Structure formats: C-alpha cells, structure tokens
Amino acid sequence: MDTSRGMRLDEHKVIIFDLGGTLYEPAGEFCGIIRRFLGEIGIVIEESMTDEDLSQIVAESAESWLEEYMLSEGVGQYWEPPREIWVEYDKRFLSALGIEGNLDHLAHEYQKRWDALIHGLTANLLPNVKESLERLQEAGFRLAIASNRFTDPSDYFERDGIADFFETVEYTQIPGYRKPSPYMLLKVASTMKVNPRLCIYVGNIVQYDVVAAERADMTSVLLSWVDAEEVDKAPSTTHIFEHIDDFVDAVTG
C-alpha cells in the first residue's frame, strides 16, 4: 500500500519508465573509459587519484562549464551539444588535470575517441523487459518514457521492437528540464491527459528518479537489479523491487 496516497499500485493508470539501468543496460564504467582514453593520448594520471576524485574534477570543471553554458544560452529541451562544444568541454577537463601544452590538439584527439565510442555504442535491453512491457500493456496500463539524455532513444525502441508500447517519449539533459526536475514527468502526464497522482515513475537512481517522481506528485518505484546500493538511499514511500518481473507481478496481481 502506498501510505502517502492511499492507492494500491494496481490502481494507477500510467507507468513511466527511465531507460539506462531500468529498461536498458547502463553505459560502460565512466572513469575507466576516461583513464583509457587519456592513456591513449599520452596522459597518465596519478595512481593515487580515485574514481571519486576523477569524477569530481569532471564535475567541477567541464560539467560546471557546460551547465552554465546551457543556461546562459537558453537552450531548449532537446538541444544537443555540437562537437565544438564537446571539444571545449574536454579542454576545460584537461586543463583541470594540469595539462597545459598542446591543449587544442589533445582535446581534439580525446574527443575523437569519445565520438568513436558513442558512434559504436549499442544499448541492450535488460532481461525480460519486452515481456514485462507486454504484460503491463495487456493489463491495461498506459506506458511512457522520461529519460535524462541528449539524444532521442526512439531508434533503440524500433530496433528492439518496443516502440509501440510507449504513448509518448520525453528526454533531455538540459538543467531545469532534466531529472530531478519534475518537468519531463509532468509533461508526460499532461500529454497523456492524466492526473500525475495516477502515474507511477520507475527508475533506478534515487537522487534523479525517485526525487523527480516525488516532486511530480507521482508514485515512485525503484528497481534495484542494476544498482543495489540505491536501496538504502530510498525514502520510505518508495516501492522497491529487485527485478522488473517483480514489479509487474505486483501491479498486475
């Protein structure tokens, strides 16, 4: 029972899903990729630098700059950074690492590796996802997507034969629009003409997915099969399931 609203899960009308770590396998290990690409362009970072240290450098240099840029330029929900923006992003990251000489060349070489990785990236559905979506649709639930990402995921859905399950797909990586803002979730509810309180949002990261659901006044569901450590971070009102099958069993009876 959802004690915050007095509604059972099966009384909701719409189920909105996150993508990475929820329906699809998450992307590769971020810091490991950074270390490999840096090594390929001749930059060796100290062994004592932890992944947490590296992530913090990225966040405080490149990510901070990109966020300020997007806000100052007033970019829209579906804006995607062009390559020159990513090169500038890389320059700021490399500079924060203490790299000074030949920065332009190194940033271009570094970005070439990211371009190649992203071009060849193939996201894979997690086990039993398609069958679970079929069960939910057959049970009468309306389905949708809301995901933090720069690019439209619809091509993946077509490839995997799940495009027809979703009535609407929302995505963005722009601050103010992206989760944990409730913007996308409320936009989905508005598009589908349903009260947000009749919606469930299913994700795998508390600080983005659960928080966005709560801010949108939706019921939050956390799937722990990819990120088990997230369970201890979830508020008591969150419905937690290990696998998508378990969640589907709960809402379909």
- Asked whether 250 and 9 are in contact (CB, 8 A), the reply is yes
- pLDDT given at position 5: 57
Q: What is the mean pLDDT of residues 29-49?
A: 91
Give the pLDDT of residue 4. Answer: 45
Point out the least confidently predicted range of 44-53, 85-94, 167-176.
44-53
State the pTM of this model.
0.92
Tell me if residue 244 falls in helix, strand or coil: helix
Q: Is the pLDDT of residue 2 over 60?
A: no
Average pLDDT over all residues of the chain: 95
Q: For the segment 95-148, what is each residue's pLDDT rounded down to a tens digit?
A: 999 998 899 999 999 999 999 998 888 889 999 999 999 999 999 999 999 999
Q: Length of the chain in residues, anyone?
A: 253
Report pLDDT digits (tens) over 216-239: 999 999 999 999 999 999 999 999
Distance CA 223, CA 133 (A): 15
Distance in Å from the first CA to the final CA of the chain: 13
Looking at the predicted structure, is the pLDDT value of residue 3 above 60?
no
CATH number of 9-27+126-252: 3.40.50.1000
Residue 133 CA to residue 151 CA, distance in Å, equals 22
Please name the residue that has the structure tokens 């995921």. Answer: 153
